[in-house]
A and B are shown apart, each in its own frame.
Chain A
Amino acid sequence: MLKITNLHASVEGKEILKGINLEIKAGEVHAIMGPNGSGKSTLASVLAGREEYETTKGEVNYMGKDLLELAAEDRAREGVFLAFQYPIEIPGVSTTNFLKTAINQIREYRGEEQLDAVTFLSRMKEKMKLVEIDQSLLSRSLNEGFSGGEKKRNEIFQMAMLEPKLAILDETDSGLDIDALKIVANGVNKLKTKDNATIVVTHYQRLLDYIVPDFVHVLYKGRIVKSGTKDLALELEAKGYDWIKEEVKETV
């Protein structure tokens, strides 16, 4: 589904990603871990098409297409979804209205008919249960005055509505208490099928107790320095990141 080859990216002239290689197949869950400043969020942003990031080298093939050539909205329309670490507030625009606009533009791109109001609402009702989100929250301005947990749940709710092929969760666990974390993880798990894939970007192992990854990659100084299974995450949890740093030093 997604093949990243030797990806380099920089922001304001400073290179953050220094050659990422990663392959993700449909049905898989990949966790990307790493200490602060290792480039995790940058990778998520580059995949989603944030313009401040300049890709200087490398390729990203997404379902046969050159992902880097696509505009951010076209990536979304092709099924890439980013759950933001810091969801933005848009005053005066309700989540409902926002999603309706998004879904219809995506459908238009795909040559599908506009979703009628009834179908839209019934789909909303169904997905709301998934993340235990309240109707009243959805009629309020997007993310405005939402608590940290509400924002993150709203992200997963949007993910449920948009049914992406590739979902990237950028530190979705940050700022969540254990109950909210369970709700969010539960939502993500329910959305998992054999046809879609998930990238979970996180600093802590905690989230991975609930969203069990098939693969774990450790990002450090802009490179994936270690890959493994869930056990790697547990090892990181137990030992911290220092030993990885040591290992990298030795190999350099």
Chain B
Amino acid sequence: MSSDNQILEEFTSKEYEHGWTVDLESDQAPKGLNEDTVRFISHKKNEPDWLLQWRLKAFRHWQKMEEPNWANVNYPAIDYQDIIYYSAPKPKKELSSLDEVDPELLATFEKLGISLDEQKRLSGVAVDAVIDSVSVATTFKDTLGKLGVIFCSFSEAVKEHPELIREYLGSVVPMTDNYFAALNSAVFSDGSFCYIPKGVRCPMELSTYFRINAANTGQFERTLIIAEEGSYVSYLEGCTAPMRDENQLHAAVVEIYVKGSAEVKYSTVQNWYPGNKEGVGGIYNFVTKRAICAGDHAKISWTQVETGSSITWKYPSCILKGDYSIGEFYSVAVTNNMQQADTGTKMIHIGKHTRSRIVSKGVSVGRSQNSYRGQVKITKKADGARNFSQCDSLLMGSQCGAHTFPYIDVENKSAQVEHEATTSKIGEDQIFYCTQRGIDEESAVALIVNGYCKEVLNQLPMEFAVEAQKLLALTLEGSVG
């Protein structure tokens, strides 16, 4: 038997590290979905009528839609009536400082490795924490406020900045965009809102941590980021969920509106519960993320490290409307055991001299299926557009699959589009070289995979990168070694 196979078999499964639950009393909507559910959520959140109407419109549209089936993933039909669409940790009261936060909740975040207190302040990351769809704490508000940066929960933004919400909600991802986006539009319960005024360079990383805690709940958060002309922000998103035998649905929407010469960097480390070794449980992660570079010289950069979820359906996209705007997508997707991921991006070139870059690194382990699906579209008017895509797959073991589905549509002769993809494995020679230097096989594999993903990990802010590296090693445990 080759050493590789042995390596694969020797590895024992490492249980999901964030798989604990917390006994938080929560305030829930009854199971099931109908117009009353939508009204219930809107009422709970004291929303203005226009927003309720918006939700209802989305709901009615959603009812007419069919769940998409084109992705390379298989899962039993979701019973949308068997989900709780709203669950808020109780007591829900206005919090003026962190001291008032439920200590149980703070402990939750400690376990997540996110401290909402002083430590985090020292490291200079503002955090918005969302548990079971409700934002529970946002740090650093005052510091940011002085610069005019708004960083708060979505619900708060609806109350405090209704004009901004009204103007931009659905402007990048229309409520009718797709099945899951429509569903989210109808029932989203909270999320983060971020506004960077003209010319402001946000001095710290803004970060949202999402956690699904309650059982049988879906999580439908919504993030809206607006970057005014010439501004800059780096935004981080992390997520975990408890281990549960049933599947939980997560259908989020992220909209980013980037104006001229502004730049938004959006980084995700997705670590939802992936299900156990046999594929029982885990999060269904059906997420719509899209950014528009509305003005000239705007830039959006997506970086994602996807290690969790039993099913991932996610295509952070860039609409490059402004001339000379830039879209980037850097992705690492690791699937192990029975996980399935169908992820990639869309680069829609509309403006002249727009540029995009795609770097996707897939790692398939165990019996998992890992697909890259991406579209590069150069429209008629996008003179001088450029795209370069590199999609690499790494397979470990003979029971997994790696798939690449790039769609390249070019309607302009001056475009320059290049796509490259390769598939490879970790060489026995590489592992032997490492072991000869005293590194055990498991660490050798983690080291090599980290090296393989370097180009993407380099895009992450420092402390996220460290976290991501650890996460990669964890995900690979129980798979290789």
Chain A positions near chain B (C-beta within 8 angstroms): 48-52, 71-73, 75-77, 81-82, 84, 87-88, 90-93, 97-99, 101-103, 105-106, 109, 141-142, 158, 162
Contacts and interface: CB of A to CB of B under 8 A. Distances in A.
B448 A73 contact: no
B432 A51 contact: yes
B118 interface: no
B437 A102 contact: yes
A99 B438 CA distance: 10
B447 A76 contact: no
A90 B438 contact: no
> Size band of the B side of the interface?
20 to 34
A105 B436 contact: no
Nearest to A99: B437
Contacts of B429: 88
A50 B434 CA distance: 11
Q: Which 6 A-B pairs have the closest CB atoms?
A: A92-B451, A92-B454, A93-B451, A76-B438, A72-B435, A106-B438
B229 interface: no
B291 to A, nearest CB: 27
19 contacts: A71-B435, A81-B436, A88-B427, A88-B430, A88-B432, A90-B447, A92-B451, A92-B452, A92-B454, A92-B455, A93-B447, A97-B447, A102-B439, A105-B438, A105-B440, A109-B438, A141-B451, A141-B454, A162-B438
A28 to B, nearest CB: 22
A112 B272 CA distance: 37
B443 A105 contact: yes
A223 to B, nearest CB: 25
B448 A90 contact: yes
A171 to B, nearest CB: 15
Nearest to B456: A92
Interface in B396-431: 427-430
Interface in B88-132: none
A107 to B, nearest CB: 9
A69 to B, nearest CB: 15
B453 interface: yes
A90 B433 contact: yes
B296 interface: no
Given A84-B433, A92-B452, A101-B439, 13 more contacts: A52-B428, A71-B435, A73-B439, A75-B436, A76-B435, A76-B439, A81-B436, A87-B433, A91-B452, A93-B447, A102-B437, A109-B438, A141-B454
A101 B451 contact: no
Contacts of A51: 2-3, 428, 432
Interface in B21-44: none
Given A49-B435, A76-B435, A162-B438, A101 B454 contact: no
